[in-house]
Chains A and B, each alone.
Chain A
């Protein structure tokens, strides 16, 4: 976690204005004998260890609600066993939740009949798996074509589409290989191509890159970013790697013992952790690389507050703190922060900037969330 290679570009187009594509309300899932009978009982909220001690059951998902917009990358993070895989699988009912509502691409997933569910899985949603989940007895081409094959697409058409996709993920020429003849990174490219082959609206990644070594992992993350710029899929990405989450996520949900403890933009999670658990998660992140000038500035309440006098000492609101630090530290005087239209919306001085980067909140005049006050979610950090 020492070095954040890159962070989602905050200036990118904001998908949160798009329509909601995935909506989950109050999901619950218990594992264990008769687990569903715990629904609504006081035990359901016990700490995991105690719950298991008392009932032998595990609450893998507890009262989880969230929405993901079209084109958004929603990352779910958490320690091992926090329920991430269970959650992502419950979206297409690979695991059935005990209660709650799931809406995917306008379908009420929990009430779909088997044919409807198959249809959803065949056309709308694809998944990429941690251990790749490739079919070892099929050649690469038939792995990638699998989704089309179960849809009933003719062979010639399948193969043509597959060849295109293999080119996209950089695997042309390997179509006749078997998965075990490929390296891990290449295998996961097959997994990715297989998921993309059916041109789904929603892509689900369950720790898709965790099994790869760091270099390849970074390569695959870049691949996803590159593809996402072209394809604008709705993505739910499970990870336990904060770097990955910050790099890919428009929003990040931090999960613990089955619940979401915080949902927010990378900045919110890093800059304003809601509790010690999240703080511990993000402790080692170089904050200057994640947080922006907007996050650290003291906002002006009204236009008239102070709108000039910075000269050329102004920075764009979306600039990362590490890139404004030089200018801020040059003098005791604050620098101005401007939005996309060039309006000055706040100021940032040396003390605040260093305090924000150090992560020690200032008395009374705390930065960060303060700057978000009064704004609706989603507009929080982005113009």
Chain B
């Protein structure tokens, strides 16, 4: 989800990043201490020496020394207990958090009441009308069908409760995000402050903060809203920032030259020109928010997440599929509405022709009046708040029958000739690849792990990165979840390798052959818009619950950006560069190897970075289907009230995410300061 629409924008950033600026030419003379330290080999020698010394001091034993773990888990547990005990007395809880919780609750139930008041015919009509107001027949029809499907699939009540939560969370994200984006666009300092926070927020699977949120807000809607907002706000901040920053300089200058003050410039030039980006941000917020619905259900928000969770628990793929479909439909409904309006804000789609503004306004007003009347009639005349259950039907039964047949013929040992069934594949990967990898990572002496990753960090980003990575890896050990992290890491690596093996060649193929790109595009679109949990539904069918299910889901989940970014990066290689290469008679492969891939390197590095973060996110989510490791710890922590374990695992997820991100990101970007 993280990169669903962010691809293009993050690539811009990557391009800026590709410019390596030479250090200031000022000051010559003998090499200083700094310069000596900056020599690559010096750092590696220092790090190697560190490893050797640590090895001598602590012995060459494998794993993280148990004696060093400062009882984090039990400490966290008692923290949780303490907080629960003081929830009703400490001022911070009673005066700050409690009112926030009450407020959020009120908002959610307010929207819920409104939806109830609107009734189902009213909501369907509203959908149709939004499509028409945006000037699109097809959208209108789609909206009617999709909203009706909520009820037809028998999930109207759950849908409304999810929709209420979403509306509040998305609203809060926008209200917080747009101003923050604006401030960041104007203040480099603020941006620098914000950027790492956003990076972190965006990198974190929502799992990481579920436990703390439950501790602070306890179970229910307020926690769900908070978790959703944390998860979904970064893109709108980023896109607002980007939208304002990418207003061309000459237009800004023109605005200034006429004596606009700051506010006028913002309101009359920058915001309108950034509007399209901002709406794109709203879109992303919606998508991300809906992708945590299931996770929010883990902390008791109810809604559509509940049937998914229940169905996954008992491997009732049909039910899980039905509920998943409704969630995806809801995402599409909101997405279509916002993007239809976004298109209107797009200069490319706006013309002086078309309906006069006055007439349009009148029509819109009339439409909404109609919605209100419909709602009143439905409510008072037919008391039609809930979708009539008699009309809904279940697709789960037939679906399960069909899937059972499929499973029967693919899953079991004898079902597929020679290679055996998917259960065999699952067993093979788990036993021969995942388990050994987990063991290697878990049994690696701590000093080798710490200094090894630090050396990697040093090669990629110098001392600062080495230090950060080293500290993070040590931190994982100190949190007391060394072995679970190793399990998570092993799954991440396997899924990543699968993504690279499949994704990069697909990206190249899409670049070479337009038909391939055309064929892939809808598939990738679908893959990228599906929330993370959706992938768990089919995989449990074939791989049952467990690690292999997690790895497969992660692979599929993260494949799209790998393909997309590779393709996009290659396509962005300047035409004249490629033509120059061609004019020297390079073959296609030579061209790819010597010109295009090197030129697209920033994009490909970004692709790997994004892929690994998505893989991590999904591996964590796969804790829901019993993939072992940190994600499972969080689920266990929530389900059995083991806050200590949940908190430690959540923190470890953060730290592991930072390590993986830092080790796959290009050099620190140093942007030239812009002049007046």
A positions within 8 Å CB-CB of B:
31, 33, 53-56, 89, 92, 94-96, 114, 117-123, 125-127, 129-139, 146-147, 149-151, 176-178, 180-181, 194, 198, 204
Contacts and interface: CB of A to CB of B under 8 A. Distances in A.
A180 B347 contact: yes
A133 B268 contact: no
Contact of A178 (B25, B248, B275, B351): B351
B273 A177 contact: no
Interface string B228-269: 000000000000000000001011011111111100100011
Contacts of B251: 133-136
A121 B251 CA distance: 15
Contacts of A54: 25
Nearest to A92: B257
Contacts of B675: 31, 95
B272 interface: yes
Given A119-B259, A132-B250, A137-B275, 6 more contacts: A56-B25, A118-B259, A131-B248, A137-B272, A150-B268, A178-B352
A74 to B, nearest CB: 18
Contact of A127 (B257, B260, B269, B275): B257
Given A131-B250, A181-B351, A137 B273 contact: yes
Nearest to B264: A150
B34 interface: no
Contact of A135 (B24, B269, B350): B269
Contacts of B269: 135
5 contacts: A118-B259, A123-B259, A126-B257, A127-B257, A149-B268
B273 A135 contact: yes
A383 B254 CA distance: 40
A146 to B, nearest CB: 6
Contacts of A121: 256-259
Nearest to A197: B258
Nearest to B254: A133
A177 B352 contact: yes
A120 B676 contact: no
A129 B258 contact: no
Nearest 8 Cβ contacts at the A-B interface: A133-B254, A121-B259, A122-B259, A147-B258, A118-B259, A133-B250, A127-B257, A137-B272
A146 B257 contact: no
A146 B258 contact: yes
Interface in B1-45: 24-26
Contacts of B255: 135, 146
Interface string B370-384: 000000000000000
Contact of B258 (A53, A136, A198): A198
A137 B258 contact: no
Contact of A122 (B254, B258, B352): B258
A56 B24 contact: yes
A55 B259 CA distance: 35
Contacts of A53: 25
Contacts of B264: 150
A135 B271 CA distance: 12
A132 B257 CA distance: 13
Contacts of B254: 127, 129, 133-135
B290 to A, nearest CB: 30
Nearest to A122: B259
A120 B260 CA distance: 11
A256 B204 CA distance: 54
Contacts of A204: 257
A71 B384 CA distance: 76
Contacts of A33: 24, 673
Given A122-B258, A129-B254, A95 B676 contact: yes
A180 to B, nearest CB: 6
B259 A94 contact: no
B256 A94 contact: yes
B280 to A, nearest CB: 16
Given A53-B25, A95-B676, A129-B253, A181 B258 contact: no
